[in-house]
Amino acid sequence: MQQPNEDRFRHRDLNWLSFNDRVLQEAADKINPLYERMKFLAIFSSNLDEYFRVRVSQLRQMKRVKKSIRKKLALRPSKITKQIIEKVKKQQDRFGEIYHNEIIPELAENGIHILDAEHFKPAQKEFVSSFFHNKVEKHLKPIMLNLNKENELFLENSILYFLVTFEKEDKLAVVNIPVNECGRFVMMEGIKGKHNITFLDEIIRYEAYKIFPENNITGIFEIKLSRDAELYIDDIYEGVLAEKIYESLKQRTDGQPTRLLYDASMPKEVQKKIRKLLKLGKIDMMPGGKYHNFKDFFSFPDPTDNPELHYKNLPPLPHKTLDKSNDYFEDIKKKDQALHFPYMSFGYVEKFLEQAAKDDQVTDISISLYRVADESKLTSFLLEALERGKRVTVFVEAKARFDEKNNIIWGRKFEEKGANVIYSYPKVKVHSKIMLICRQEGDVNMRYAYIGTGNFNSETAKLYCDHAIFTANKYITKELQRLFKVLEGELIIPREKNLLISPFSTRQEFLKLIYNEIENAREGKKARITAKMNSLEDEEMIELLYKASDAGVKIRLLIRGFTCLIPGITGMSENIYITSVVDRFLEHGRIYVFENSGEELMFYGSADWMNRNLDRRIEVISPVLDEDIKQEFKNILNIQLNDNVKARIQDASEANNYVQKKKGEKAIRSQYEIYNYLKEKHSS
């Protein structure tokens, strides 16, 4: 939570809001096609929902921790929560401006009109009544509340409701908006070239008098409640302090409310009534617009089929070796092979596993699954491997936030088919993206490994920018095999020399690498650190980066999400420069480069420089040993570092200013430049 020195460390939760600001910038950026800008509004909304469920929930829970413990941990949850609410309100105002003043008019320019109930024409009113009667009414669950009596009102997490007021002020009603059953958007009839769309909300609003026929309605206000997710104290505090915090919170109710988003036009006296009914504090009340759950805009229909309103298609690029390969094992044995998603297809990973499942020489398959897709070729091939009698070990992360249920279901499916399934340890998550294949080739038991930065998920691989390498390197594969034995309980530590494995060696090795750059700088040698990651939080790493900056080490960071490091401060971090790229795809890869006095060392893998990734998760960071792949990674990283279209400067002001293209300089939109670079390289 709150760092002890605000002059040296940003608060992670406040800086995360700066990341969501960058998402909002994308919604306003007219470089992006109209429907893609709407998706960025949806991403912003979805991000904020999870943020309140997890991060704000944790702050709220900390308010209940004993003061003595809060003081020891330098916690100030009330202060931070107030700052969050203030910043979120400003963001939501900006959100409303973008939606009403930019998106709606541009939709109209393209013949797409979003209608509200007040503007339904006679023919549309007939359609609305029919649609309501045939498709909506049966899914409604209205609740009448008599305010003169005790009421038990439970609103489900992130479900939309209408709060209805009547002439009789001692009555209120709540009715659900059944988006899951009916969809959020409804197409209506329009003249040629003009397309009318309405919210499901507006259909229910128009027909509300049928739901409450014996009461005169005076107001209808949309509301949405966010409830907390599981409390992940161990992500931040460990040992005795974590136990003390849990003791303080043992009376806590799971899924307690963290935010009520309500229509800002709701009268204050009605706000008080719903607040009392839901047992909320003032700080839990968040005014918003007429509509909530803008994440539903992911599914906003395009009746025009106009390609100009969407991103141009970028077909997956063929890998110059794997695309023509009839034997992955032979090609990987000759040379390491790298993949870059979403520029290349996840199908290469699936094909590798398919070959392993069907190959009679393959004896063992081991894999770690952090987020398991509902159905995928990858899971099908694992099941096929079991049917063919291979030993399959699957490490399933049972605590992957919001994916627990699906992961456990798949774990049981694998168990039923005979797999050795291992679930996460009580206080350690397995976040690494690793696979190991053992193959009997004559008298030799060969090992083939896959190490990546992204999940084994074909859907997210279309959206997340990640890197992966197939290798048969005997040192890397041996250490990976030892790690799987640790996960299976056969070994206590993996004893690695090449891989960096959390929580065993990652922190220590990264510290050594940074200290090496400090020493080189002091000796007048080349000294530079270049790192790309999702988030930077760990105080020990940050303090050492400050020390390196002070010693003259040039530090260039590319951080998509939040950072607790404050760059560009004289006498502390003047040699540290940070940018963030937010664009069409989600930057998710981690690459670390150390100058090492001209003998560059490069690493990639699943770990950010966060406490949890270094100390409380199983993570794998691998050196990039193949010189060709190292250059490929370096070229990709350099393209991103030189982005002057979608890169924002992360400085002390947190203004999220775009990197400005210099006069005469080429415009570099890194994700498109990387696509073109890989296209040229892998077609040659």
Contact residues for 663 (Cβ-Cβ < 8 A; gap 6+): none
Measure the CA–CA gap between 157 and 225, rounded to whole angstroms. Answer: 6
Q: Which of 498, 520, 505 is nearest to 602 (CA)?
A: 498
Q: How far apart are the first and last CA of the chain?
A: 50
What is residue 308's three-state secondary structure?
helix
| Residue 184 assigned to a binding site | no
Amino acid letter for position 151? N
H or E segment at 161? strand 160-166
Measure the CA–CA gap between 135 and 126, rounded to whole angstroms. Answer: 14
| Segments in 29-162 forming alpha helices (H) | 34-51, 57-62, 67-72, 77-98, 104-109, 122-131
- Kindly state the tokens that stand for 367: 């894999």
The single residue of 292, 431, 467, 682 carrying the catalytic annotation is: 431
| Contact present, 163 and 221 (Cβ < 8 Å) | yes
For the beta carbon of residue 655, count every other beta carbon within 10 angstroms. Answer: 11
In the DSSP assignment, the letter for residue 295 is: G
The angle subtended at Cα 543 by Cα 538 and Cα 547, nearest 5°, is 145
| Residue 292 assigned to a binding site | no
Contact residues for 176 (Cβ-Cβ < 8 A; gap 6+): 139, 140, 141, 159, 160, 161
In the DSSP assignment, the letter for residue 56 is: I
What is residue 415's three-state secondary structure?
helix
For the question of residue 431 being annotated catalytic, the response is yes
CA distances (Å), origin 156, targets 223, 256, 298: 11, 10, 21
CA distances (Å), origin 39, targets 36, 75, 97, 397, 676: 5, 36, 16, 29, 24
CA distances (Å), origin 401, targets 54, 404, 405, 524, 654: 10, 6, 10, 46, 28
| Residue 464 assigned to a binding site | yes
| Residue 420 assigned to a binding site | no
For the beta carbon of residue 279, count every other beta carbon within 10 angstroms. Answer: 10
| Residue 401 assigned to a binding site | yes
Measure the CA–CA gap between 418 and 654, rounded to whole angstroms. Answer: 52
Residues carrying an active site annotation: 431
* Residues annotated in a binding site: 47, 371, 401, 464, 560, 588
* Residues annotated in a binding site for ATP: 47, 464, 560, 588
* Residues annotated in a binding site for Mg(2+): 371, 401
